[in-house]
Amino acid sequence: MSAATMTAPLTRTGADEGRIGLRNNLRHIGALVRRNALQIKHDPESMFDVLLMPIVFILLFTYVFGGAIAGVGHQVDYIQRLVPGMMTMMGMNIAMAVGSGVNEDFRKGVMDRFRTMPIARSSVLIAKIVVEIGRMLIATAILLGMGFLLGMEIHGGVLEFLAAIVLTTVFGVALMWIFILLGLSVKTPQAVQGMAMIVLMPLQFGSSIFVPTTSMPGWLRGFTEVNPLSQLADAARALFDGHGAVAHPALITLGWAVGITAVTMPLAVAKFRSKT
């Protein structure tokens, strides 16, 4: 979408962001969401990670680790544990892509075009979040579809099932603000990915996402207990199974999500304003 096209629906009297009302702000976000969605339409390869990653990962972990953990021929039991945990992992990987995308937009000069428009700076970032939520939900749907094909069953109710999806999405959005801030702070998309992997790998594998924590040494079990990914995976697992403790891990997860967003969102918006 050209700059002229973007400017037309966003034009307003006065460029002072502080005077932009809620209605105009929402209109700006809507236009920017459409722009980002059209980018995906014109570059369908950008959806390969969303479409293929859930399939590859669930097959890999089920048939590489499932037999060793649950016993040969009992991979279905492992799938019951794996899929709720992998929903957490999908959110983290999508969030990492947001940071790389923001950094790439700066390198290509896209943000320079937005700077000339009378729009709220925060609307650019919020629009990216909205589109990435859509990508996250698509990845989650594919993951769940593969889980059902491989024998996963949902023993909880529909509301519990939806609550697990909402919980993982809320936490994923909080992580997006971390990676947006990272994308605004480093020089290249490769640096975003490199720094993200250094953080993500210990968090993912030092958690209850893939394996029970009972076989881990004491110091590592202590880390998994405070790891928010473990809390999220345990909450989603309990919601899917229809039994087990849900309130405690769910509240801790929501607390992490609120805390992360409260800290990183203002920092990301401030960094974006100073950078543009």
Both tokens assigned to 178: 């971390």
Both tokens assigned to 96: 């990492």
**Number of Cβ atoms within 10 Å of the Cβ of 256:** 20
1: helix, coil or strand? coil
Is 44:57 a contact under the CB 8 Å cutoff? Answer: no
Both tokens assigned to 98: 């947001």
Please say if the pLDDT value at position 32 is more than 90. no
Residue whose token pair is 């799938």? 79
Is 26:114 a contact under the CB 8 Å cutoff? Answer: no
d(CA 52, CA 136): 13
Average pLDDT over residues 94-98: 86
Please give the model's pTM, rounded to 2 decimal places. Answer: 0.83
Instruction: Tell me what the pLDDT averaged over the chain comes to.
Output: 83
pLDDT in tens, 118-168: 777 778 888 889 999 999 999 999 999 999 998 888 888 899 999 999 999
d(CA 134, CA 92): 14
* Lowest mean pLDDT, pick from 13-27, 56-70, 232-246, 260-274: 13-27
pLDDT in tens, 169-224: 999 999 999 999 998 898 888 888 888 888 888 888 888 888 888 888 888 888 98
Model pLDDT, residue 3: 41
Closest CA to 51 of 146, 170, 165, 189: 146
Q: Where are the domains of the chain?
A: 22-275
d(CA 75, CA 170): 29
Burial class (CB in 10 A: 0-12, 13-18, 19+), 16: exposed
15: helix, coil or strand? coil
Is 67:75 a contact under the CB 8 Å cutoff? Answer: yes
- For residues 2 and 80, the model is more confident at 80
Radius of gyration of the chain (CA): 20
